[in-house]
Amino acid sequence: MKSNVFHHWRRDCLPPVHNRRTSRVAQLGCTLICILLTAPALTADEPDSLAALGPAYQRDIRPLLEQFCLDCHSTKQQEGDFDLQQFSGLEQVQRDPQAWQKVDQMLASGEMPPEESLQPSAAQRQTLRAWVQSYLAVAARQNAGDPGHVVLRRLDNAEYKYTLRDLTEVDLDPTREFPSAGSSGEGFTNTGDALAMSPALLQKYLLAGKQVAEHAVLLPDGFRFSLRATRRDWTDEILNRLRTFYEQFVESQDLGSGLAVGYINGHVDTRLGEAGRLPLEKYFAATLAERKALADGSRNIAEVARQRGLNARYLAALWSSLSGSTPSEFPGNLPARWRAAGAQDATALAAHVARWQRGLWKFNPIGLQGRQGSASRWMEPVDPVLTEEEFRLAIPEPAEGETTTEIIVSLVATDAGDGNRHDDIVWQRPRLVKKGEDDLLLYDVRGRSAAAPGEPPWGLDRACFGKHPRCGRIDAASLGARAPSVITVRLPANLAAGRELVTTAALHPRAGKRASVQVDVIAGTPAKTCGLLPSEVTVNCSQVTQVFSAQSKLSFARPILIHKNSPFRARLLTTFANHRRLFPAALCYTQLTPVDELHTTTLFYREDDHLARLMLDKQQQAHLDQLWKELRYVSQADLMRLVALQDMLHSMGPNRDQEDSQYDGIEPLLEPLTAGAATFGEHLVDTEAAHLEALIDFAERAYRRPLIGLENDELRGLYHRLRGEELSHDAAFRLTLARIFVATPFLFRLEKAPPVPTAAAVSDWELASRLSYFLWSSQPDEPLRRLAAAGQLRQPGILADQAARMLRDPRVRRLATEFTCQWLDIYDFADNDEKSEQMFPQFADLRADMYEESIRFFADLFANDGSILDLLAADHTFLNEALAKHYGIGGVQGPAWRRVTGVGAQGRGGVLTMASVLAKQSGAARTSPILRGNWIYETLLGEHLPKPPANVPLLPDTVPAGLTARQLIEQHSSVPQCAKCHRRIDPYGFALEQYDTIGRLRKENLDTRTRLADGNTIEGLPGLQQYLLQQRKDDFLRQFCRKLLGYSLGRAVQLSDEPLLQEIEQQLAGQGARFSVAVQTIVQSQQFREIRGRQMASN
């Protein structure tokens, strides 16, 4: 029986009950107060005890009933199925307290006796009511704390959705196609009565379970869920995780076809993939900016790294290499440059390091790793140190329309930074080469082409050839030189363009062991001719198939020619190795996948040893290894590779003659890949057991308690039975998982009724679920599960702590949505389709924002333990730009939500001003003071209107001339049979008339002054708020508590809950009406902590 009788006798008639109640107040922490209610035994010496009520009934009440009620409500007549004659004495009365709640309600609303019947005098009415209320108060105390009859609850759609989300940690929502919910109890969907089951719904549950199970990703040691349901997507998810992991440390850069570092000229499509580059500039910047602080110890590396988001291990390595007492040697003398650098020179230092990287590393494309002759790594070290090097400088044809007559090239030899002793070299037979034409020796150029008059002659004087300045005769067409030397040559374009200048630079045979020369052939003239310059490596491949072969050839710009046994060579190589150790060109291969997918059996490629060495700690390393392990497992790469290889071999088979080299190149892979696939197959079988174990763990979470009895065996049994039906492991696993989602202990909130005739405490696990479904509409989380497992949750202090923790959790938003929005009748407002599109085209775009404002306001109030009275009037709300504009509130830009204060002065704050509420309680095209008023009367204040007359008069379709909408309603409502109700509700609505159908403030001023049924006169929103806060505060709080209690218990509030409601009210009064006080009092109550025994009568 949903009834609202209590506030009447609570105010007027009820004697104080707390003197009879054992009330223990425990102070927990600094704010939590728990109240344990114990029902008092009924004793004869109470003022309104049964002893006094019995005689009074016979003496005063029975005659009044006979006089005014029994004409209709006799045992014979039973008008409205209501028989008052049966209550011949107190004993009979006590059998049906609900009937007397109805009597009280009828008296309160004035509905009975009906107007046309004989009316009791005021005194008689007062006698009747006083007795009924006294009796109800006694009856309430008699069963105080009764947990009540709670109908077995299935998860409602929202609870199913949230539970699934918390269980799977992904937002899968199959409930959209479930039938929408009804309500019962205090008007909430979480009430057992409203949750019907049918075969059609069961099929939906089964289908949903199977669909969710399709989202399970099997892992080597268990499973998790993904938003997606294909292996391909799961693989991509792990790849994304890997990339995300890498990108904490490096910056991904596409190496293109190799121009950034190294170069492959053979195959334009051959990419080198994405490289994880060291973000060196940031590190240099840190060492430069913090140089002094780090040096004098006022700051440490860890601190600087944390502050700048850098890796501490790497920063430490860099710091010690640059600043150590014996700094390492780097090419180009990096430590000295660093010491000389200012805070702004980080970029230059990084560029310097990068230049050297181009000469010290080469890259190979990732594809057919493992093929005969292929490179084993993606990034390999290179030393640009040789005894001779052939240069081929291509001289381009002039671009169209361009006339070039002169081409200048230089043969450059520098001393490699170690002085020029013994630095003698020979440029062997420099010549211009073109395919299909004879070579033209540089020696012959001057003779072949005469220069224009006045211009210097072409080429070189023949006298320069055939001799070395220090070492005597050499080949007649070669040039000798000692570094440093630059031989610049002018060539006529008509001869040189379209040819290559080819020459080999070699150490002169007589050059000593100490010779070290850096040589280069360039177009134009060199900018710099002394010191060691960064080299640059190029990988040359002539055809596509050779991309993967060892036949590629390296060439160098500015190689260092040096004798094999030169001591300087060893020193040079050491500096190069130092550079490579601290500054790898890439720390990892962030591409992860091959870059030439047409020709690959590789699915994923891992190269991150430099990252591991320089940056990762143990934990990070383990995490990374785990990700790779999962990738390999989830992608089933070892199986896929074999399939890919077999496909390739198969496709080459028919063309073996032409493709011999390719076929033979990859055929050797067959054996290891076959073995790998077989091993992986065994591994898959090995991991099946782990999946089944994980499934059992999962069932415990899904059932919200440990498995009991046969459950464990039955789950395993089902799996094996399905395997017996020739389902694969994968299919059997998924179906067993789906089965958990249609299990009774998952779908239903089963609670064991103890085999006792009284109530008893629920178990810790049951209490955990009661708590989590109350506050989060979902399953207990890990801390709650731990406490339940330890049997500690029932301890009042721990229970209070948990409730407090849960209220601060973001999941309290669900309580805001499910409880508050259902109570206030704005549930699912984001889908509201009730407003005229013609008149309010903007509504469709705004409704989700309107709903969001409400939810955020409530969630904020709950999480921050605000006053419940803030619901009636607050000076803040939550807005984004769109809604702020709708409200006419300035200064809110952008789609982000924010708390906005000072809105009271702009007519906002609290539920009365929310667009969601105002629009919901309007018609499609106009406001409805009746709806709004009725909403305040019934929903906010918990009052009940009598039933409307059988044939309510029709509203005129249009407002007659000369009347306002309000006047029209006033006229309509003045019909006496209507006025009885309308005078109670309409005035509230008139006070809100300044707000239009979709909650905007109207520009014109409307008459919002109105007289309430109780005689108070109010004006507009401020008047209404003031009235509610001052005159009706208790009624509002009572209604709030009643709704919250009904929601928390999953049933309608009953007579025996009355003492608890009073308790909550008293607590609220003393503690600023803070929300947590209501919640804490409820969760500590007998109703919340106990369950009726199996033998207990169902009422």
Partner 1 sequence: MALPWMESLPVWGNASGQPQDQAPTRLAVLFSGNGFHSTEWWAKGAGAQMELGKVLTPLSDYRERMLFIRGLYNEEALKGNIHSSQTGNLLSGAPLASGGRIHSGTSFDQLIAQRYGHSTKVPSLVLGCEKSIPGIHKNYSLLYSSHISWSSPNCPTPLELYPALAFDRLFNDQADRGDQSVLDAVLVEGKRFRQDISLSDRRKLDEYLNSVREVEQRIERAGQSGQLQGWRPTLQEPNVPRPEDGIPQDLSEHMRLMCDILVLAFQTDSTRVCTLKLNNDISYLRFPHLGVDIGHHDLSHRNNDDWLKVNQFFVEQLGYIAGKLDAIQEGERTALDNSLLMHCSSMMTGSHDATQLPVVLLGGGGGQLQGGRVLDYLEQPNRKMCSLYLSLLDKYGIHLSEFGDSTERLAEV
Site for partner 1 in 115-154 (CB under 8 A): 149, 151-152, 154
- Across 566-602, b (16+ Cβ under 10 Å) vs e yields bebbeebeebbebbbbbbbbbbbbbbbbbbbeebbbb
Closer residue to partner 1 (CB): 81 or 171: 81
Near partner 1 in 93-112, by CB under 8 A: 98
Query: 706: which 2 tokens?
Result: 């440990």
Closer residue to partner 1 (CB): 370 or 946: 946
Closer residue to partner 1 (CB): 105 or 287: 105
- Rounded to a whole number of angstroms, the minimum distance from the CB of residue 1080 to partner 1 is 24
Closer residue to partner 1 (CB): 186 or 274: 186
Closer residue to partner 1 (CB): 188 or 589: 188
| Other beta carbons within 10 Å of 1001 | 15
Closer residue to partner 1 (CB): 151 or 612: 151
1011 membership: H or E segment, kind and range: strand 1009-1011
Q: Which of 21, 210, 462, 1033 binds partner 1 (CB under 8 A)?
A: 210
Q: Which of 138, 164, 194, 815 binds partner 1 (CB under 8 A)?
A: 194
- Rounded to a whole number of angstroms, the minimum distance from the CB of residue 549 to partner 1 is 50
**Cα atoms in the 13 Å half-sphere on the side-chain side of 282:** 17
- Rounded to a whole number of angstroms, the minimum distance from the CB of residue 1086 to partner 1 is 18
Near partner 1 in 911-970, by CB under 8 A: 923-925, 944-945, 947-948, 950-957
Strands, E assignment, 366-499 = 379-381, 385-386, 388-394, 406-414, 424-433, 440-441, 467-468, 472-473, 479-482, 485-492
Phi and psi for 55 in degrees, rounded to 5?
-60, -40
- Rounded to a whole number of angstroms, the minimum distance from the CB of residue 622 to partner 1 is 38
Full strand arrangement of the beta sheet holding 588-589: 251-254, 274-277, 588-589
Closer residue to partner 1 (CB): 841 or 1070: 841
Closer residue to partner 1 (CB): 811 or 972: 972
Contact predicate 317/323, CB 8 Å: no
- Rounded to a whole number of angstroms, the minimum distance from the CB of residue 837 to partner 1 is 6
Closer residue to partner 1 (CB): 665 or 933: 933
Closer residue to partner 1 (CB): 373 or 956: 956
Query: 936: which 2 tokens?
Result: 């305040």
Near partner 1 in 966-1005, by CB under 8 A: none
Near partner 1 in 163-192, by CB under 8 A: 177, 179-189, 191-192
Strand partners of residue 898: 879
Query: Position of tokens 């009950």?
Result: 17
Question: What single string gives the DSSP state of each residue in 899-940?
Answer: EEE--GGGT--SGGG-HHHHHHTB-SSSB-HHHHHHIIIIII
Closer residue to partner 1 (CB): 202 or 452: 202
- Rounded to a whole number of angstroms, the minimum distance from the CB of residue 128 to partner 1 is 22
- Rounded to a whole number of angstroms, the minimum distance from the CB of residue 608 to partner 1 is 42
Q: Which of 30, 200, 340, 896 binds partner 1 (CB under 8 A)?
A: 200
Near partner 1 in 717-776, by CB under 8 A: 717-718, 721-722, 725, 727, 731-732, 735-736, 738-739, 742-745, 747-748, 750-753
**How wide is the angle at C-alpha 281 spanned by C-alphas 379 and 418, nearest 5°?**
70
Q: Which of 60, 83, 96, 193 binds partner 1 (CB under 8 A)?
A: 193
Contact predicate 921/898, CB 8 Å: no
Contact predicate 313/615, CB 8 Å: yes
- Rounded to a whole number of angstroms, the minimum distance from the CB of residue 105 to partner 1 is 10
Query: Position of tokens 């009073």?
Result: 1062
Q: Which of 26, 51, 196, 844 binds partner 1 (CB under 8 A)?
A: 196
Position 1067 contacts partner 1 (CB under 8 A):
no
- Rounded to a whole number of angstroms, the minimum distance from the CB of residue 283 to partner 1 is 53
Of 1036, 522, 589, 1083, nearest in space to 798 by CA? 1083
Phi and psi for 86 in degrees, rounded to 5?
-65, -20
Query: 360: which 2 tokens?
Result: 């010290």
Closer residue to partner 1 (CB): 429 or 1051: 1051
113 upstream amide cis, omega within 30 of 0: yes
Contact predicate 1091/751, CB 8 Å: yes
**Burial class for 153, CB neighbours closer than 10 Å (0-12, 13-18, 19+):** buried
Q: How far apart are CA 168 and CA 183, in angstroms?
A: 28
Closer residue to partner 1 (CB): 314 or 843: 843
Contact predicate 851/829, CB 8 Å: yes
- Rounded to a whole number of angstroms, the minimum distance from the CB of residue 1022 to partner 1 is 29
Binding mask 670-709 toward partner 1 (x if CB under 8 A, else -) reads ---------------------------------------x
- Rounded to a whole number of angstroms, the minimum distance from the CB of residue 906 to partner 1 is 30
Query: 612: which 2 tokens?
Result: 């591991």
In angstroms, the first-to-last Cα distance of the chain is 11
Closer residue to partner 1 (CB): 461 or 726: 726
Report which DSSP code applies to 413: E
Phi and psi for 1006 in degrees, rounded to 5?
-105, 165
Closer residue to partner 1 (CB): 163 or 552: 163
Binding mask 7-26 toward partner 1 (x if CB under 8 A, else -) reads --------------------
- At position 94, the amino acid (one-letter code) is Q
Give how many residues touch partner 1 by CB under 8 A.
92
- Rounded to a whole number of angstroms, the minimum distance from the CB of residue 714 to partner 1 is 6
Contact predicate 874/859, CB 8 Å: no
- Rounded to a whole number of angstroms, the minimum distance from the CB of residue 744 to partner 1 is 5
Position 1043 contacts partner 1 (CB under 8 A):
no
Closer residue to partner 1 (CB): 16 or 724: 724
Q: How far apart are CA 760 and CA 758, in angstroms?
A: 7
Closer residue to partner 1 (CB): 147 or 907: 147
Closer residue to partner 1 (CB): 1032 or 1043: 1043
Q: How far apart are CA 699 and CA 706, in angstroms?
A: 8
- 1059 dihedral zone (left: phi>0; alpha: psi -120 to 50; beta): alpha
- Rounded to a whole number of angstroms, the minimum distance from the CB of residue 821 to partner 1 is 10
Near partner 1 in 1068-1097, by CB under 8 A: 1092, 1094
- Rounded to a whole number of angstroms, the minimum distance from the CB of residue 545 to partner 1 is 48
Q: Which of 13, 42, 90, 206 binds partner 1 (CB under 8 A)?
A: 206
Query: Position of tokens 């174990």?
Result: 693
Position 3 contacts partner 1 (CB under 8 A):
yes
Binding mask 57-96 toward partner 1 (x if CB under 8 A, else -) reads -----------------------xx---------------
- Rounded to a whole number of angstroms, the minimum distance from the CB of residue 981 to partner 1 is 11
Near partner 1 in 893-912, by CB under 8 A: none
Question: What single string gives the DSSP state of each residue in 833-856?
Answer: --S-TTT-TTHHHHHHHHHHHHHH
Near partner 1 in 812-851, by CB under 8 A: 822, 825, 827, 833-834, 836-839
Q: How far apart are CA 670 and CA 887, in angstroms?
A: 71
Near partner 1 in 455-494, by CB under 8 A: none
Pairing relation of β-strands 424-433 and 479-482?
antiparallel
484 upstream amide cis, omega within 30 of 0: yes
